[in-house]
Structure formats: C-alpha cells, structure tokens
C-alpha cells in the first residue's frame, strides 16, 4: 500500500513564498482602495500572520488556520463591503465582542481541525489495511484450496517411477 509522503522543507518553503506573495499583492490592493477592509483583514487575520511566521514545517497547518480565520473574517468583510468600506462601520464592527469572538473563534477552530484530522486519517488507514488484508487472505485461501499442500516446499523435479 502506497502511503502519502510528508511535505518536505523545500515544498514548505515554496508554499510559504507563494502565500506571502499573495498577501502582499492583496494588501497593496486593499490599502489604497478600501483601507477599512485592509484594517479589518490586518487585525482579524492576526492568528494567520502569527501561524505564518512561526510555522517551520510546511504550510498545512498555516493553510488550515488561514482558511478558518478567513471564514471567520469573511462575513464581516461582506458587511463592510455592503457599507462601502466606511470607517464608521469598521468601528461598529470593532466595537462588537461578537465580531472578535467569531473572527478569532473560527481561527481557533483550526486547532480542532488539526486534532481531529490525524484521528480520522488513522481510522481511515486502519480500515483500508483491513480491507486489503481481507482481499489477500481470500486470494491465498483460494490458491491453497486449489493446490493443497503442494505449495509448501518444492517436490522433486522428476516423480520417481513406482516400483511395484
């Protein structure tokens, strides 16, 4: 059974580079066009920035954190977008505890995701191993039923002529 290979440091470096290029481009776009939106993202995505800075072993966990963090920020970005990115709306949102609870709560859900994921994976791998084992055992049983004990140590090449 072929198992997936873990991310190598080279892959991780490459992923991280792409991630930061994306962030810089988005920041440039937002800082000039929608400064309120930029501020919301800058502050709301702090867990992601921290994860991005501290993570040294691939981008997997950063991706999970970033995705869930973004899922928490996304509804408020929508509200800000509907309010044409006004600073008043930003201040209203910033003044609500609910906003920060949602934003950082969703980011913290990454911990749960990253904890449950390996458990699910272990269960899946065990299930798959059991399925393969069953299949090969069945094949082996069929072979042994057909050939009997002959598949043990090899018999002599020439059967001896029966003497009487």
Partner 1 sequence: MAASAANSGRFQQTRYDVNFDQQLPGMETLGGAAYACLDTKDPSNAVYAIVPKDGAAFRHRVLQHMMGRTVPHVICPLQVTPVEIEGGGWVQAVIVPFPSGGPLWRPGPQARFSESELRFDVLPDIVAGLQALDTHDLAHRSIRPDHLHYADAAKTTVTLCECFSELPGQSQPLAFEPIERALAHPAGRGSGTSVDDMFALGVTILSLLTGHIPCEGMSEHDIMASRIARGSYSTYIRDVAPRGAFGALLRGLLCDDPLQRWTMEKLRRWLDGFMPGDPMAVQNYITASHYRFQSRNYTNRRLLAQALHGHFEAAIGELANPSFQGWIRSAVKDEVGSAVVEKTFDHGSRERAALRLNGGTLSKVIQLLDHEGPIRFRSLCYMLDGLNGFVAHAMATQNATAIRDLEDFFNNGFARDAAILAAGDSTRLRRIAMESPEIERHTATRAFGSGMHHVLYALNRALLCQSPLLEHCHVANLPQLLVALEMLAGERADRELLIDEHIAAFASARWSDCMGLVNDLAKNDHRPLEKALLTMKLYGLAQLQFEVGPLPGLCRHFAGKVRGAVKGLHHGRTAELMTRKIDTLMATGDLLRFHDELNFFNVRARDRERYLMARDYLSEIERRLGAIERGFKPTDPVAAHLGQRIAVGAAYLTVLVTALVTAFPGS
User: Interface with partner 1 by CB under 8 A: which residues?
Assistant: 1, 3-7, 58, 60-61, 63-64, 66-68, 70-71, 74-75, 78, 109-110, 113-114, 116-126, 129-130, 132-133, 136-137, 139-140, 143-144, 146-148, 150-151, 154-164
Considering the complex, what minimum distance in angstroms separates the CB of residue 95 from partner 1?
21
What stretches of the chain show up as alpha helix (H) in DSSP?
9-33, 35-44, 46-54, 60-82, 87-94, 97-147
Q: What residue has token string 């458990």?
A: 119
Considering the complex, what minimum distance in angstroms separates the CB of residue 116 from partner 1?
7
Nearer to partner 1, 32 or 157 (CB): 157
Task: Indicate left, alpha or beta for 67 from its phi (over 0: left) and psi (-120 to 50: alpha).
Answer: alpha
Establish how many alpha carbons lie within 13 A of residue 110's alpha carbon, considering only the half-sphere containing its beta carbon: 20
Nearer to partner 1, 88 or 160 (CB): 160
Nearer to partner 1, 28 or 128 (CB): 128
Considering the complex, what minimum distance in angstroms separates the CB of residue 73 from partner 1?
9
What SS3 class is residue 157? coil
What SS3 class is residue 21? helix
């Amino acid at each position: 059974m072929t198992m997936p290979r873990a991310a190598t440091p080279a892959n991780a470096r490459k992923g991280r580079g792409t991630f930061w290029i994306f962030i810089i481009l988005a920041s440039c776009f937002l800082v000039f066009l929608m400064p309120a939106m930029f501020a919301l993202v800058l502050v709301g995505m702090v867990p992601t920035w921290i994860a991005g800075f501290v993570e040294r072993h691939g981008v997997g966990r950063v991706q999970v954190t970033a995705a869930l963090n973004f899922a928490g920020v996304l509804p408020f970005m929508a509200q800000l977008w509907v309010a044409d990115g006004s600073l008043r709306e930003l201040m209203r949102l910033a003044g609500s505890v609910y906003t920060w609870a949602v934003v950082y709560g969703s980011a913290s859900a990454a911990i749960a995701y990253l904890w449950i994921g390996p458990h699910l994976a272990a269960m899946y791998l065990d299930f798959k191993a059991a399925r393969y084992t069953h299949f090969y055992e069945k094949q082996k049983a069929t072979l042994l039923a057909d050939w009997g004990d002959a598949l043990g140590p090899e018999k002599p090449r020439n059967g001896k002529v029966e003497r009487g």
